[in-house]
Structure 1
């Protein structure tokens, strides 16, 4: 978000500003389009996290083969409706909150510095994560269902059925089970992703020049750092949200380290990285294209 160009005599007309509500809509749509591409990697990550030590022993390829064997190729898209709702809530909320905080800071104190941008990003991530927690809980439940024996399957029809049944059968507060873990992860993800992406971009700009290749390389670097930093929090969050007893974060963390070893906290590293890197690139690509489409459709007709 840059400063508005000055209206100097003879200068080209300033680019029209997009209404704030369109930032929410386009931001959410970009995330929803991106998740459609990376959903299989996200499902693999969740399955490996829930399998714990067994997941490490099986390996990524064998977990994928098991899904295809027992659930078919469409098994990789179980929980897609919940993933889309998560992007529509978490993604939209994060973007909207960041833009609002950025504009507020700029109006009162001027453009925020880099450290302040990180803080704003962490705050926006926390807000988006909190409102997106119900969809996150439904997503974890739906993607975990395929590994359960028939008598324990929840068999949610879609995300709305899952939300309704969880509310009816377990109480509405269950929809925010693991909210603190989800918020913690979102703050780590937003901080790590923003910081490393900006630093990588600054270092590589003189070698690569600005453009899509630079953005792609920086996104992959940021994605890896973000994955390593956030995966322990993500695994604890996943276990908490899939728990039927309402176990807390510290209890789950202690049990994982004691029973499965500390390395388990980085279980699913490859599929998580396979999601975060491309997801970052895809969101930016879709965001740019949707922005262009908006301005094309709303541009005034050329004079006759």
Structure 2
């Protein structure tokens, strides 16, 4: 990802993010359903990843597995494009501040730069995730307009930034682990297998696994907050939400949907980074780096 222009990075990341999101959205729908159900409320409706996907498809139709596709695409394309535009400048700035030498960033600096650029981006595009989460959690055919009207009537503009704090925390962890780990892992694989598909896929798998492991608890909290936008919130803040989930549902509740997140991240990162790297190279060869 070294040395490419902002315009080319934006275009390559937008295409990669759109394709990866559409391909993996069914696992995200299932993840949201699993994270929202609580054992403290009685018998669980879904019992694991496969059971959730099968039941949603059987009861609500196959199209239900792509609920929230429009806001999901808007979110991923906008947020990931903005993140990748910010990543290299922030990484180089962190290198200058901490190492006093641009282009010599270490793993910690890459994690910090990736997390910071993603946190800034998601703060801007939080409304798209509120819409996506509520559309995915609904068993009916609720539209984006209906969700937006409900949130606006109950909470006004601030309702679209419900769950912002856990979302920023989760996004910082996800992308710090995802982009930072990918960037670092790729350098390792380049030395052993060269700059090709094997290196990109291998680095994507490492990045996806690291991202899922560190981000799932924050993702559970974020989902709970966003699903309650437009209605009464059960939690006063991130710490209160985490405490209540631990107290009422146990430690494993903070890792609800973990298998789905791992599966989705492995697929998502592989599709995204492989497309991103190839499109980035093709655009640089076609238009150069002067844009």
* Length-normalised TM-score, structure 1: 0.81
Matched ranges for 1:121-200 at <5 A: 121-146=114-139, 155-158=141-144, 162-198=147-183, 200=185
How far the C-alpha of 1:123 sits from its partner, in A, is 0.8
- Aligned mate of 1:113, from 97, 105, 111: 105
Which deviates further from its counterpart, 221-230 or 261-270?
Answer: 221-230
Partner of 1:279: 268
Structure 1 residues 227 and 104: CA distance shift in structure 2, 3 A: closer
For each residue in 1:41-87, what CA deviation from the matched residue of structure 2 results, as whole angstroms up to 9, or x when unmatched? 11111111112445597122221221012111111001101111111
Partner of 2:277: 288
Contact kept, 8 Å, 2:95 with 2:101, in 1: the verdict is yes
Structure 1 residues 211 and 26: CA distance shift in structure 2, 3 A: closer
SS at 1:111 equivalent: coil
Matched ranges for 1:1-304 at <5 A: 1-2=1-2, 18=5, 20-53=6-39, 58-102=47-91, 109-114=101-106, 115-146=108-139, 155-158=141-144, 162-198=147-183, 200-201=185-186, 204=189, 207-243=192-228, 244-246=231-233, 247=235, 248-295=237-284, 298=287
Contact kept, 8 Å, 2:95 with 2:109, in 1: the verdict is no
How far the C-alpha of 1:29 sits from its partner, in A, is 2.6
Aligned length: 277
How far the C-alpha of 1:168 sits from its partner, in A, is 3.6
How far the C-alpha of 1:106 sits from its partner, in A, is 7.2
C-alpha distance in 2 between matches for 1:296 and 1:191: 29
Contact kept, 8 Å, 1:98 with 1:120, in 2: the verdict is yes
Contact kept, 8 Å, 1:216 with 1:281, in 2: the verdict is yes
SS at 2:253 equivalent: helix
Contact kept, 8 Å, 2:177 with 2:211, in 1: the verdict is yes
For each residue in 1:161-201, what CA deviation from the matched residue of structure 2 results, as whole angstroms up to 9, or x when unmatched? 53354224431101001101000001111222245435544
Contact kept, 8 Å, 1:185 with 1:233, in 2: the verdict is yes
Contact kept, 8 Å, 2:56 with 2:62, in 1: the verdict is yes
C-alpha distance in 1 between matches for 2:74 and 2:179: 24
C-alpha distance in 2 between matches for 1:196 and 1:21: 23
Stretches of structure 2 lacking an aligned partner (at least 5 in a row)? none
C-alpha distance in 2 between matches for 1:55 and 1:207: 47
How far the C-alpha of 1:21 sits from its partner, in A, is 3.0
How far the C-alpha of 1:124 sits from its partner, in A, is 0.4
SS at 1:58 equivalent: coil
Partner of 1:7: none
Stretches of structure 1 lacking an aligned partner (at least 5 in a row)? 4-16, 147-152, 300-304
